[in-house]
């Protein structure tokens, strides 16, 4: 993709009102534009990142045996009256009548809708267990939307729902999601701490939140400091993280984690990027859902629900990975793999060589953002450092005459002068 034909409105100055670095960088790097308080348009670069994150979330959900579907954003109020949550939900729910005066709402979550759909189709124990999910926009009229996409009003969520016949099955579905979450966050280049969330009023509830450690996080969490030493590249990392889960309240942490040696209880701030919940028959019982059990007697299915903040993750990844010059995208979610910087697009030989390199990279499946703008080199370097693509391939007439191009790794700043062939081989995994 040629930058001169792209839509990438970057900003030189930090916009007023953006308090945290991820929000500032998302605006400056041209990822999003605010259209109303807590509501954002995803510009082309931001959209690519959002879709890559969603693809990783989808891959791990599918691997865990969850089945994808898509439910609407708009729901009828009647559904929520069946569960008793319509009145209880409060002003965070955006409610409105349609032209016939029917009460509608923009879904803040989908427990009711999926319980009703599954209830109307599942009749026997053979239809269970099942875990279904979708990746869909939600609306919550947050009292204080802030920090850009981190606490938006409209946001993209993956939400999964499990239906099981007995508590053992319910626990197994919960565990499958737990493992999928650790894999998902590791694939995104993030270390997510599973935090034991306080149980609700119904006995037997089980719940974990997943937090990214960051000073700008809105939650305070307590955890075994041994977590800081877990290497994400270690295949045992998911198991180790799981053994070291943390608590949201210090008293809980001290009471339940007596196995944490004194002095090893760390206190940090976290960004909640996921939340899993096993709540048993709460919705199925309220909404009259039962299936015929193995012995012929009716069984009320046990349910869990499992959310990931897909759009919040864009901000969380930037909080975890940036420097003074801009964003540093992990390879797995970068909007493009390589920034191909043409230092002299006005020089036909240079432009020809760069176009050939772009063609070869793209043919090998590498996503290239080709900076062919008529601009000074310093401006090009600054733009590319700001938008944070993992690699920069810098090509100019002097280097070409000497048979070299320059390859820079954004994360480390490491630079190598290479022949164009070796640079291509590195970027396409050929050496």
Residues near ligand ATP, by CB under 6 A: 140, 142, 151-152, 155, 157, 272-275, 307, 309, 311-312
Min dist CB 274 to Mg ion, Å, is 8
Min dist CB 204 to ligand ATP, Å, is 19
Residue least distant from ligand ATP (Cβ): 309
Q: Which is nearer to Mg ion, 48 or 275 (CB)?
A: 275
Alpha carbon of residue 384 to chain centroid:
23
Residue 317's binding partner among Mg ion, ligand ATP, none (Cβ under 5 to 8 angstroms by kind) is none
What's the Cα-to-Cα distance from 348 to each of 46, 159, 373, 393, 419, rounded to whole Å? 32, 52, 14, 18, 20
Q: Which is nearer to ligand ATP, 152 or 388 (CB)?
A: 152
Q: Which is nearer to ligand ATP, 73 or 123 (CB)?
A: 73
Residue 312's binding partner among ligand ATP, Mg ion, none (Cβ under 5 to 8 angstroms by kind) is ligand ATP
Q: Does 196 bind Mg ion (CB under 5 A)?
A: no
Phi, psi dihedrals of residue 92, rounded to the nearest 5°:
-70, -20
Q: Which is nearer to Mg ion, 196 or 275 (CB)?
A: 275
Residue 279's binding partner among ligand ATP, Mg ion, none (Cβ under 5 to 8 angstroms by kind) is none
Residue 420's binding partner among ligand ATP, Mg ion, none (Cβ under 5 to 8 angstroms by kind) is none
Q: Which is nearer to ligand ATP, 60 or 337 (CB)?
A: 60
Q: Helices in 262-376 by DSSP H: which ranges?
A: 282-286, 310-320, 348-363
Q: Which residues sit opposite 306 in a β-bridge?
A: 160, 276
Q: Name the nearest CA neighbour of 59 among 135, 118, 122.
A: 135
Burial class (CB in 10 A: 0-12, 13-18, 19+), 355: middle
Pick out residues in 257-276 that bind Mg ion (CB under 5 A).
275
What's the Cα-to-Cα distance from 75 to each of 93, 96, 116, rounded to whole Å? 11, 10, 12
Q: Which is nearer to Mg ion, 34 or 184 (CB)?
A: 184
Min dist CB 252 to Mg ion, Å, is 16
Q: Which is nearer to Mg ion, 138 or 275 (CB)?
A: 275
Q: What is the distance between the alpha carbons of residues 245 and 45, in angstroms, rounded to a whole number?
A: 35
Alpha carbon of residue 388 to chain centroid:
18
Residue 151's binding partner among Mg ion, ligand ATP, none (Cβ under 5 to 8 angstroms by kind) is ligand ATP
Q: Name the nearest CA neighbour of 384 among 52, 5, 45, 42.
A: 45
Instruction: List, in sequence order, every beta strand (DSSP E) within 225-337.
Output: 246-247, 265-280, 291-292, 298-299, 302-309, 322-323, 326-327
Min dist CB 22 to ligand ATP, Å, is 12
CB count in 10 Å sphere of residue 267? 12
Min dist CB 272 to ligand ATP, Å, is 4
Contact residues: Mg ion, CB under 5 A: 275
């Amino acid at each position: 993709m040629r930058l001169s034909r792209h839509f990438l409105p970057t900003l030189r100055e930090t916009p007023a009102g953006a308090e945290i670095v991820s929000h500032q960088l998302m605006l400056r790097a041209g990822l999003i534009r605010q259209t109303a308080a807590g509501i954002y348009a995803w510009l082309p670069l931001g959209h690519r990142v959002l879709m890559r994150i969603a693809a990783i979330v989808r891959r791990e959900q599918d691997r865990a045996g969850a089945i994808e579907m898509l439910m609407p954003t708009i729901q009828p109020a009647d559904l929520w009256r069946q569960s008793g949550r319509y009145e209880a939900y409060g002003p965070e729910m955006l409610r409105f009548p349609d032209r016939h005066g029917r009460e509608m709402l923009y879904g803040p979550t989908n427990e009711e809708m999926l319980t009703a759909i599954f209830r109307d189709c599942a009749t026997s124990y053979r239809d269970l267990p099942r875990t279904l999910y979708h990746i869909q926009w939600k609306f919550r009229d947050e009292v204080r939307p802030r920090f850009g996409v981190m606490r938006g009003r409209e946001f993209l969520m993956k939400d999964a729902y499990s239906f099981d016949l007995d508590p053992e099955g319910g626990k197994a579905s919960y565990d499958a999601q737990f493992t999928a979450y650790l894999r998902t966050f590791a694939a995104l280049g993030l270390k997510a701490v599973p935090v034991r969330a306080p149980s609700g009023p119904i006995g037997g509830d089980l719940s974990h939140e997943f937090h990214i450690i960051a000073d700008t996080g809105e939650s305070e969490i307590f955890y075994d400091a041994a977590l800081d030493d877990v290497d994400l590249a270690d295949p045992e990392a998911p198991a180790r993280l799981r053994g070291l889960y943390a608590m949201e309240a210090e008293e809980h942490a001290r009471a339940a984690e007596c196995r944490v040696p004194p002095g090893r209880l760390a206190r940090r701030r976290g960004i909640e990027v996921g939340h899993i919940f096993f709540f048993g028959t709460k919705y199925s019982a309220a909404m009259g859902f039962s299936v015929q059990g193995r012995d012929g007697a009716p069984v009320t299915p046990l349910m869990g629900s499992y959310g990931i903040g897909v759009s919040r993750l864009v901000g969380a990844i930037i909080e975890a990975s940036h420097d003074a010059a801009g964003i540093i995208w992990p390879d797995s979610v970068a909007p493009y793999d390589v920034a191909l910087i043409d230092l002299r697009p006005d020089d036909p030989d240079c432009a020809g060589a760069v176009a050939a390199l772009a063609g070869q990279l793209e043919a090998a499946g590498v996503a290239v953002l080709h900076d062919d703008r008529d601009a000074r080199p310093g401006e090009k370097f600054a733009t590319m450092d700001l938008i944070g693509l993992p690699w920069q391939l810098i090509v100019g007439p002097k280097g070409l005459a000497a048979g070299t191009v320059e390859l820079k790794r954004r994360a480390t700043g490491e630079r190598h002068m290479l022949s164009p062939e070796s640079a291509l081989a590195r970027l396409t995994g050929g050496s």
